[in-house]
Structure 1
Amino acid sequence: MSTDGFTTCLWFDGQAEEAADFYVSLFENSERGRTVRATEAGPGPAGSVVTVDFVANGQKFVGLNGGPEFTFTEAVSFQIDCADQTEVDFYSRALVEGGGEQGPCGWVKDRFGVSWQVVPARLTEMISDPDRARAGRAMGAMLTMHKLDIAALERAYAGE
């Protein structure tokens, strides 16, 4: 039995190559892999991209140009664990550029419709604190935010 890990397949409506290039440019430890193009037999026009393999931040993906039959929803998202506010700001801004949108609680939908959670590692520490009052204050503050603000989360957590 082969256990080569998992590859996440993302279904696009003609933007698989553009999306792969975007994600590879955004994340470290990323690279483009094989591109499969349609033949005269299809699917789609000969020479058009059917799939593109890529690695983004060490995670394997395949982008599939499957057409408009399916679209992304927030039911599936990718969490970006950020070390500090600089990373939160960078990923939030980069994912919104070109037609994405900032959602509540650190969620961002990129221009391809893929949902991301841009989360500072410090938030995870705060909301898992065994002191439920402190954790609750941090969670309450997070629920009022769009892009997450670590300094404001820290103030809420401390009861300020």
Structure 2
Amino acid sequence: MKKIVAGVVIAGAALIAMMLKRKNKEDEEPILITLEEDQDEPIEITMDQEYSLITIFERQTWQSRIKILLKQLVDQKQLKLVHSMQFASQAKLFDGVREFKQYDYLLVEADEHHQVVIEKEVENFYDDICKEVLNIAQITRSHEGVYREFEIKG
């Protein structure tokens, strides 16, 4: 008789424990993990879309040149980034300069041949400088201009 009572008590305790576990699981909210499909796409596609007026060869050449120039200026925290470009007309020049001002560039020089030199103080970070060069080249070409060159000065 003691064995039967003990068995019933143990079975009852097990049943109560299972019901409590089930109730706790129902109270918890399920955690859903989703993977974005964009993670598998290479970065080049987005750069091609963002800088559609710049060829891959130009972009790679400028990035290599920036690396070389920054190796010489590794001890500098602030640098001066200087861009040279030429526009087809005075109206295009004004439109381009207006847009450059939105990126905090200063107009250093402009002449009667619609050639422009702009500059900006930047931090010594490779990615930031690459983005600045690509942005200015893209803006220049979007206003029918010719992006000549850039310089990085300490």
Q: Which has the larger radius of gyration?
A: 2
- Which structure ranks higher in relative contact order (CA pairs < 8 Å, sequence separation ≥ 6)? 2
More helix by share: 2
More strand by share: 1
